[in-house]
């Protein structure tokens, strides 16, 4: 069983890699971004609340996001491991997640950061915008999301690094190559004494 986080800037390929890793390891991938997008599409109250933040490239408030993750992690398919993609993104979310896991006597096995430089990310995201038409993939919003990553999510990475729990993986390269790097990194963490 593996409980893990995948952290990385927008455009680093987190979502793609999360799907592949969850298939290979047989654990559910939980993407907060996907859950929000689903709710926006279905026009649920949660989606209507989240949409204004998402369109601006801002974080959805913790009061909404934390409860959503708590509910999701309580579902049966997360009992035997999970891969969180896109959460926690703030230090306050790290503390909230610590609390959820502590209540269940659980902890994380692996925290992986996918790395890539900003200009590469902007190029990738502008290309993705042409393909998917995601409303938060305009250049101004992309740059804002990257700024938020540096300001709010790098401290999350630092937190896990202080705990000696962080592994970094180079996110630049062909999708298959990055997947192999990620799987090798997970394997080496799990086989470490």
Residue 81 has a CB neighbour count (10 Å cut-off) of: 17
Q: Is 57 left (phi over 0), alpha (psi -120 to 50) or beta?
A: left
Which single residue brings its beta carbon nearest to ligand AMP? 33
CA 162 and chain centroid, separation: 19
Site for ligand AMP in 170-189 (CB under 6 A): none
Minimal distance, residue 40 CB to ligand AMP, in Å? 9
Q: CA 145 to CA 131: how far, in whole Å?
A: 19
Q: Which residues are catalytic?
A: 14, 89, 128, 134, 145
Is residue 82 part of the contact set for ligand AMP (CB under 6 A)?
A: no
Using the contact rule CB under 6 A, the part of the chain among 81-89, 108-116, 164-172, 181-189 near ligand AMP is: 81-89
Is residue 114 part of the contact set for ligand AMP (CB under 6 A)?
A: no
Residues across the chain: 193
DSSP secondary structure, 5-27, as one string: EEE--TTSSHHHHHHHHHHHHT-
Is residue 33 part of the contact set for ligand AMP (CB under 6 A)?
A: yes
Contact mark string toward ligand AMP, 86..105, x via CB under 6 A: xx-x---x------------
Q: CA 123 to CA 41: how far, in whole Å?
A: 26
The contact set with ligand AMP (CB under 6 A) reads 10, 32-33, 36, 53-54, 57-60, 65, 86-87, 89, 93, 136, 145
């Amino acid at each position: 069983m593996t409980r893990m986080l995948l952290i990385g800037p927008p455009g680093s390929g987190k979502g793609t890699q999360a799907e592949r890793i969850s298939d290979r390891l047989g654990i559910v991938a939980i993407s907060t971004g996907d859950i929000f997008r689903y709710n926006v599409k279905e026009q649920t109250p949660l989606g209507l609340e989240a949409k204004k933040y998402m369109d601006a490239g801002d974080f959805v408030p913790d009061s909404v996001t934390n409860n959503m993750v708590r509910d999701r992690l309580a579902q049966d398919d997360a009992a035997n491991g999970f891969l969180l993609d896109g959460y926690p993104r703030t230090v306050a979310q790290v503390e909230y997640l610590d609390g959820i896991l502590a209540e269940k006597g659980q902890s994380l096995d692996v925290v992986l950061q996918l790395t890539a430089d900003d200009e590469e990310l902007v190029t990738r995201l502008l290309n993705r915008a042409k393909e998917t038409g995601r409303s938060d993939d305009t250049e101004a919003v992309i740059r804002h999301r990257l700024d938020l990553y540096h300001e709010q999510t790098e401290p999350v990475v630092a937190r896990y690094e202080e705990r000696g729990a962080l592994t970094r993986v180079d996110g630049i390269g062909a999708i298959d190559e990055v997947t192999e790097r990620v799987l090798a990194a997970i394997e080496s963490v799990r086989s470490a004494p």
